[in-house]
Amino acid sequence: MLPDSEPTPAAADRVTLFADVVLPLPLPKLYTYRVPYELNDQVVVGGRVLVQFGAKKTLSCIVAAVHETAPKDYQAKYILEFIDDAPVVTQPQLKLFRWIAEYYLCTLGEVINAALPSALKLSSESRVQLHPAYKRDEHPYPLSEQEEKIVDALSTEEGKALTFSEVGEVLGISSFHKVIKSLMQKDVIFLFEHIADKFTPKVVKKVRLAHHFVSEAALESLFEQLAAKAKQLDVLMRYIQRVPVYQNEHLNHRGLEKAALTSSPHLSPSAVNTLIKNGVLEQFDQIVSRFPMDDDPKQQMPFALSEGQLTARNEVLDHFQQKDIVLLHGVTGSGKTEIYIDLIKNALEGGGQVLYLLPEIALTAQIVTRLMRVFGTRLGVYHSKFSDNERVEVWNGVLSGRFQVVVGVRSAVFLPFDNLSLIVVDEEHESSYKQYDPAPRYNAREVALMMGTFQGAKILLGSATPSVETYYQCRAGRWGLVTLTKRFGEAGLPDIELIDTRRNQSPGANGQPKRPTHNFTPELTAAIEGRLEQKEQVILFQNRRGYSPFITCLDCGWIPKCKSCAVSLSYHKHAHELRCHYCGHHDQMPRECPACGSMALRMMGFGTERIEDDLKIMLPQAMVQRMDLDTTRAKNAYQQIISDFEQQRTNVLVGTQMVTKGLDFGNVSLVGIINADSIIHYPDFRAHERAYQMFVQVSGRAGRKGKKGKVIIQTGDPQQPIFDKVMRNDYVQFYEYELEQRREHLYPPFARVIKITVKHVEERGAQETAISLVQELVERLGREAVLGPEAPYIFRIRNFYLQEITIKLSREHTVLKHAKAQILESINLIKAAKDFKGARIAVDVDPM
Ligand SMILES: Nc1ncnc2c1ncn2[C@@H]1O[C@H](COP(=O)(O)OP(=O)(O)OP(=O)(O)O)[C@@H](O)[C@H]1O
Ligand SMILES: [Zn+2]
């Protein structure tokens, strides 16, 4: 072809491209921007672009589609800058996000906002900082002139940060986002959104051999010199044992954690320091990533599966031949995790990606270590306690193929997988898979099912107490069911004993109240004492935190309430104050009743703090630790409590539902449920299911290895039918009973429920809005489908009065889709009406 035959595009042939973008905002539709002609070949669907929104704001957003149709109702603005040459959001993700928005009745912007770690959502508020590991002289990648300028500006002082607009000023240009992105990719800088997210690297002290000792000859003469210094020689020997530098000199560069030498019981820490002082060892700091890149932990073979586990594994694989979804119903401690690991290995060998979902609280160091050993650096971990930068690292690691298996909490369903072959949803019944607030109010289990359908992945749900909906699908033959009825190893399921607390309310001698035995029956106290004598451990479960749920004046009956919520304030002894568990408001504990002046203020009921306190008085020799929201706020507090208990530095663990989930301690032989009644009596159609799950799960923490465990349940109503099912560990009986209830009252799985909550600062505002909304809904859906409005049990939270509307719909897909459109239409009508301006309306599809 002749070079001059290449046609130059005539102005008339120019294609004008438009991009529909998703802004990270709750906007009902996508906005269309115009692509500057000379950048036509740079648009990437799924890539980020920068646009102006409103008068002043610049926002980064995702391109969802590219086309040639100009918007009808407005003049499209130009896209300001292209940030990515490759998608950060993949096509399968966009498809899934659209499904989430449609199914859960929210906007695509809300989904994207929840999905993307904020460092991927560049905004004018973002800031940059030099990466603490960055060393100018040792950096492997060359920097451009512009990049050098930024590094100069960030190097003027330690920890200096620049906002995006300051970066623009330094460079004197407005399209600087590519420079930022490039610096990020080279690990020179990183981004943060809030001051609190500023990166504080984790540093470990390491040691290595000074470089002039690293040859064989030098080492030999060093050994001769130290011949008389036995302790230093020991240290050196250990170092060489761990880091075989004589085999490979390069290994020395990486060194060894200093603690590996100083904390060894066989070595002398002062000998280590002498070697450093004399220049034999050199000490240096290293920043550790949460995801070890090169220090691949020793890959280990997983446990060999027992015969029962093998059978179950094979049954799962058999079902997968015909069915996409299988439930593994295995009793607590049956070794489901090992079966997952085996199946994950299998899926990875086939070349696909794997997602392993766990509820927030079950994603502990325990499980991560176990998985790291088997999957090494292929494993990514996605946790909500991670910093944003760490989350971006996982996101990019999935995109690049570095992480083939990810273990994560519910938001891990948003990661950019495109080739999933297996999704494991452990503890599939857990309500923490559901996001309550804000939108998208999604259930990660349901999203995972859809994701599996889109990508052709198999789904394994696991639980000792499956949700009624899931079990129903299995019974109907749509999903496969595999059952494990025995625990792994020798341990059988624990014995369960019910203790009637009404027998324990008699006063002590001389009419004096007894010591605090009202929350500990004599049976429970004796059992705890017995176990501690045997050097075994105990878990106590109480569903309330704080010291006492409320206080009251014995003379006038006054009870302190929250100013902003319709709840009584709980007394917290440690802080000596009254707190609202809904809005966090706190008040001083009054010395006398503010209503009548009486001094007779009395604590009512008991929370975990009080259980802990009373226990310390009753059994002063016991080492008691409490695990609830109040003791686990600090970043590593939760891990610390678990490891103290694991190492048996503590022997009684008192806690809220945090202690009921997924924990695996070998030495726990007794579990006590302090007050079962408050869990059963709860105004919700799932109350029984939840109570059953909670009792079985917490009981399941007892006697997991070796000795038989025991569970004591304290209740004022031992006749409750639920106890019988828990004690006989009869899930199927529980399920059948519960299913009948659901059928009779038309609840899931026989209907779909959608809950609408109307909030207003005025009670009348909430009522009037809700009534009008109900009218609209009834008109469209019929009277039978719409229940309410009704004030919920806690009718005011954070100054907003609440009204709830419940909609029950047929499960049929087309009916459901149509009904959802009608619901949205009704809500939009109300939202647009002037009279209801002050109201907020939240929709929750499949509430839990
Ligand atoms: N094949 C095996 N070899 C050795 N140990 C095993 C094996 N399978 C399971 N275990 C051990 O048995 C214990 C219980 O297993 P696991 O935690 O997987 O149970 P689970 O079914 O997930 O229980 P839960 O539902 O209560 O969480 C663990 O300590 C685990 O390490
Ligand atoms: Zn409050």
Q: Per residue in 645-659, pLDDT tens?
A: 988 999 999 999 888
Q: What is the pLDDT of residue 292?
A: 46
Q: Give yes or no for a contact between 22 and 61, defined as CB atoms under 8 angstroms apart.
A: yes
**Ligand 2 centroid, distance to 113 Cα (angstroms):** 28
Pocket lining: 330 vs ligand 1, CB cutoff 6 Å = yes
Q: What is the pLDDT of residue 517?
A: 43
Torsion of CA 825, 827, 832, 836, to 10 degrees: 150
How far is the CA of 815 from the CAs of 746, 771, 809, 812, 822, in angstroms?
A: 16, 24, 8, 6, 11
Joined tokens for residue 673: 């449920």
Q: Which ligand is nearest to the CA of 585?
A: 2
Pocket lining: 665 vs ligand 1, CB cutoff 6 Å = no
Pocket lining: 703 vs ligand 1, CB cutoff 6 Å = no
Please name the residue whose Cα sits nearest to atom 23 of ligand 1: 333
Regions of the chain where pLDDT drops below 70: 1-13, 119, 122-125, 132, 192-203, 287-301, 504-518, 662, 813
Q: What are phi and psi of 808, to 5 degrees?
A: -115, 130
Spatial separation of the C-alpha atoms in residues 631 and 626, rounded to whole Å: 7
**Ligand 1 centroid, distance to 336 Cα (angstroms):** 6
Pocket lining: 273 vs ligand 1, CB cutoff 6 Å = no
All structural domains of the chain with their residue ranges = 14-120, 127-192, 202-288, 314-484, 495-544+621-741, 548-605, 752-845
Please name the residue whose Cα sits nearest to atom 22 of ligand 1: 336
How far is the CA of 107 from the CAs of 19, 98, 523, in angstroms?
A: 18, 8, 55
> What is the tens place of the pLDDT at every residue in 490-507?
778 888 999 988 875 554
Pocket lining: 370 vs ligand 1, CB cutoff 6 Å = no
Pocket lining: 421 vs ligand 1, CB cutoff 6 Å = no
Spatial separation of the C-alpha atoms in residues 612 and 626, rounded to whole Å: 7
CB atoms closer than 10 angstroms to residue 679: 20
> CATH second-level architecture of 752-845?
2-Layer Sandwich (3.30)
Q: List binding-site positions for Zn(2+).
A: 553, 556, 562, 565, 580, 583, 593, 596
Alpha helices in 651-710 (DSSP H): 677-680, 687-699
Q: What is the pLDDT of residue 512?
A: 46
Q: What is the pLDDT of residue 297?
A: 47
Q: What is the pLDDT of residue 660?
A: 81
> Three-state SS string across 497-512, please?
EEEEHHHHCCCCHHHC
Pocket lining: 337 vs ligand 1, CB cutoff 6 Å = yes
CATH domain 314-484 topology: Rossmann fold (3.40.50)
**Ligand 1 centroid, distance to 338 Cα (angstroms):** 6
Q: What is the pLDDT of residue 214?
A: 84
Find out if CATH 3.40.50.2300 is the number for domain 495-544+621-741: no
Q: Would 495-544+621-741 and 752-845 be classified into the same CATH topology? A: no
Atom of ligand 1 nearest to the CA of 666: 29
Pocket lining: 464 vs ligand 1, CB cutoff 6 Å = yes
Nearest to 807 by CA among 750, 748, 843, 754: 754
**Which residues, including other chains, have CB under 8 Å from residue 760's CB and lie 6 or more apart?**
766, 769, 800, 801, 838, 839, 840
User: Amino acid letter at 85?
Assistant: D
How many residues make up the chain in this entry? 848
Q: Give yes or no for a contact between 652 and 528, defined as CB atoms under 8 angstroms apart.
A: yes
Q: Give yes or no for a contact between 370 and 379, defined as CB atoms under 8 angstroms apart.
A: no
Q: Select 14-120's CATH number: 3.90.79.10, 3.40.50.970, 3.30.565.10, 3.40.1440.60.
A: 3.40.1440.60
Q: What is the pLDDT of residue 476?
A: 95
**Ligand 1 centroid, distance to 517 Cα (angstroms):** 36
